[in-house]
C-alpha cells in the first residue's frame, strides 16, 4: 500500500509538463509557419520590411499559444498515461492501492491553475498583442485602420428615454459632431428634439455651444428655439459609450466586452456577436479541465504506438471541439 504516492505524482506531473511544453512549441511553430507562408506573398508585394514581418509573427504567438494549448495539454496527459500503461507501470500503481484520480492529483491542480492563468493572460497579453498585430498588418498592407473617430453612431440611453444619433465621435477631444438627440416618454412618444453641430463633454454632461431645441407645447404644436451654451443634467451618457463602438469584440478585454454588451442591449442593438465572444472566452478558460478529464478517462486506451495514437486522439478531440464551437456561434 502507498497511501500518499507523492513520488509517483511528481513523476507523472513532470512527464506531462515536458510533453505538454514540447507539444505546445511544436504546434505554435506550425501556426507561425502557416501565418508566414499564407501571407508572405502579399507582404513582400507591399515591400514590407523583414523586421516588421518578424515582429508581426511574434505578436501572433500569444494568440496561437492560447489556441493550441488544449491540444498540447491533451497530448501531454494522454501520452504520459499511455506510456505508463504500455510499460506496465499503471498496473503496478493500481496494485499498490493508488487510484488514477489520486495519481493525477497534481495534473488536475495544474489544469485548474492554468484555467485561471488563461483568463488573466487573455486580457493582459493576448488581446493587446492581437490588437498590435492587427495594426501592424494594416500598416504593412496599406489598409486604413479604424482610426480614432467613430462615425454614424446611434445609441439609446437611460432605458430608451434618450436616443442619440451622432455623425461621428472624436475620442481625443471627447466631442460629438452632427448631434441629433430625441427625448421620449415611457410610452416612446417624443417629448424634445435637440439638434446641434457639435457637443463637448463637460465634466459630467454634454454641453452644446449652440443648439436648436424642438419641444411640444400644451396645445400640441411643436415649437423651435435656439439656445447658446445649452446643457442638461440628463444628457450625461458617458463618452466611452460612443468610443467603445470603434473596436471589434475580439479586441476588447473582458471588462470592456461586458460594457459593450450592456451598451448594445440598452440601445436595442444586436449583441449576439459580442455575447458569443464572451462565451468563447469562458469556454476556452475551462478547456484545460475538460481535456484533463478526457485524458484521465481514456487512460490506458492506447497500449501500442502510444505517441501516434495520443497525437491522433488529441487532434480528433480538438477537431470536434472547434467544429462544435463554430456551430455554436452561428
The answer on 124 and 198 residing in a single domain is no
Domain end (from 246, 266, 300): 246
Q: What is the 3-state secondary structure (H, E, C) of the chain?
A: CCCCCHHHHHHHHHHHHHHHHHHHHHHHHHHHHHHHHHHHHHHHHCCCCHHHHHHHHHHCHHHHHHHHHHHHHHHHHHHHHHHHHHCCHHHHHHHCCCCHHHHCHHHHHHHHHHHHHHHHHHHHHHHHHHHHHHHHHHHHHCCCCCCCCEEEEEEEEHHHCEEEEEEEEECCCCEEEEEEEEEECCCCCEEEEEEEEEEEEECCEEEEEEEEEEEECCCCCEEEEEEEEEECCCCCCCHHHHHHHHCCHHHCCHHHHHHHHHHHHHCCCCCHHHHHHHHHHHHHHHHHHHHHHHHHHCCCCCCCCHHHHHHHHHHHHHHHHHHHHHHHCC
Range of the domain at 49: 6-144+276-328
* Residue 267 pLDDT: 66
Find all residues with CB under 8 Å of 64, minimum gap 6, and list them. Answer: 27, 28, 31, 32, 35
Residues 59 and 121 in one domain: yes
Q: Is residue 73 part of a domain?
A: yes
Query: Does residue 203 lie within any of the structural domains?
Result: yes
Residue 90 lies in a domain: yes
Q: Is residue 163 part of a domain?
A: yes
Q: Is residue 253 part of a domain?
A: no
Span 313-328, average pLDDT: 65
**138 and 190 co-located in one domain:** no
Task: Report the alpha-carbon distance of residue 237 to residue 169 in Å, rounded.
Answer: 13
Residues 43 and 140 in one domain: yes
Is residue 270 situated within a structural domain?
Answer: no
User: Per-residue pLDDT tens for 97-143?
Assistant: 777 778 888 988 999 999 889 888 998 999 999 888 988 888 887 76
Q: Are 87 and 41 part of one and the same domain?
A: yes
On whether both 27 and 70 belong to a single domain, the answer is yes
33 and 124 belong to one structural domain = yes
Q: In this structure, are 42 and 100 located in the same domain?
A: yes
The answer on 135 and 93 residing in a single domain is yes
Between residues 301 and 188, which one has the greater pLDDT? 188
| Residue at 10 is within a domain | yes
Q: Which three cell numbers stand for residue 48?
A: 514590407
User: If you average pLDDT over residues 12-35, what whole number do you get?
Assistant: 91
Same domain, 132 and 155: no
Burial of 75 (0-12, 13-18, 19+ CB in 10 A): buried
pLDDT of 230 over the 80 cut: yes
Judged against a pLDDT cut of 90, whether residue 62 lies above it is answered with yes
pLDDT digits (tens, 9 = 90+) for 281-296: 887 788 888 777 777 7
Q: Select from 3, 23, 19 the least CA-distant residue to 11.
A: 19
Integer Cα distance of 86 and 79 in angstroms = 10
Position 314 scores a pLDDT of 64
Residues 162 and 286 in one domain: no
Same domain, 136 and 168: no
Rounded CA separation 330/316 (Å) = 22
Q: How far apart are CA 67 and CA 27, in angstroms?
A: 10
| Residue where a domain terminates, one of 246, 263, 292 | 246
- The sign of the dihedral angle between the CA atoms of 66, 71, 76, 81 is positive
From 74, 79, 107, select the one nearest 8 (Cα to Cα): 107
Q: Quick one: cell of 226? A: 435656439
pTM above 0.75, yes or no: no
Best CA proximity match to 12, nearest among 99, 109, 77, 92: 77
Give how many domains the chain has, as a whole number.
Answer: 2
∠ Cα 144 150 153 (to 5°): 135
Decide if 136 contacts 52 (C-beta within 8 A). Answer: yes
Kindly state whether residue 262 falls inside one of the protein's structural domains: no
Largest CA distance in the chain: 93
Q: What pLDDT digit, counting tens, does each position of 175-211 carry? A: 888 999 998 888 888 889 999 999 998 888 899 999 9
Amino acid at each position: 500500500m502507498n497511501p500518499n504516492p507523492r513520488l509517483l505524482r511528481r513523476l507523472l506531473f513532470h512527464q506531462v509538463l515536458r510533453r505538454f511544453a514540447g507539444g505546445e512549441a511544436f504546434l505554435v511553430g506550425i501556426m507561425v509557419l502557416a501565418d508566414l507562408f499564407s501571407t508572405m506573398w502579399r507582404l513582400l508585394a507591399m515591400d514590407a520590411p523583414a523586421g516588421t514581418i518578424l515582429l508581426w509573427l511574434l505578436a501572433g504567438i500569444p494568440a496561437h499559444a492560447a489556441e493550441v494549448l488544449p491540444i498540447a495539454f491533451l497530448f501531454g496527459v494522454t501520452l504520459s498515461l499511455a506510456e505508463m500503461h504500455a510499460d506496465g507501470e499503471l498496473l503496478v500503481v493500481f496494485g499498490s492501492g493508488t487510484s488514477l484520480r489520486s495519481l493525477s492529483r497534481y495534473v488536475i491542480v495544474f489544469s485548474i491553475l492554468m484555467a485561471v492563468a488563461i483568463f488573466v493572460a487573455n486580457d493582459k497579453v493576448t488581446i493587446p498583442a492581437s490588437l498590435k498585430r492587427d495594426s501592424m498588418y494594416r500598416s504593412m498592407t496599406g489598409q486604413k485602420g479604424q482610426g480614432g473617430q467613430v462615425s454614424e453612431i446611434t445609441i439609446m440611453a437611460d432605458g430608451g428615454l434618450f436616443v442619440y444619433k451622432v455623425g461621428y465621435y472624436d475620442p481625443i477631444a471627447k466631442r460629438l459632431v452632427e448631434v441629433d438627440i430625441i427625448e421620449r416618454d415611457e410610452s416612446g412618444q417624443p417629448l424634445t428634439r435637440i439638434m446641434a453641430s457639435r457637443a463637448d463633454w463637460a465634466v459630467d454632461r454634454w454641453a452644446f455651444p449652440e443648439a436648436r431645441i424642438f419641444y411640444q407645447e400644451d396645445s400640441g404644436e411643436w415649437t423651435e428655439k435656439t439656445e447658446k451654451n445649452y446643457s442638461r443634467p440628463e444628457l450625461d451618457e458617458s463618452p466611452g459609450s460612443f468610443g467603445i463602438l470603434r473596436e471589434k469584440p475580439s479586441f476588447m478585454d473582458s471588462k470592456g466586452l461586458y460594457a459593450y454588451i450592456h451598451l448594445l442591449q440598452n440601445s436595442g442593438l444586436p449583441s449576439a456577436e459580442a455575447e458569443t465572444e464572451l462565451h468563447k472566452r469562458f469556454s476556452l478558460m475551462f478547456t484545460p479541465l475538460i481535456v484533463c478529464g478526457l485524458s484521465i478517462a481514456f487512460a490506458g486506451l492506447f497500449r501500442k504506438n502510444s505517441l501516434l495514437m495520443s497525437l491522433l486522439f488529441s487532434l480528433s478531440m480538438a477537431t470536434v471541439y472547434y467544429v462544435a464551437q463554430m456551430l455554436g456561434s452561428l
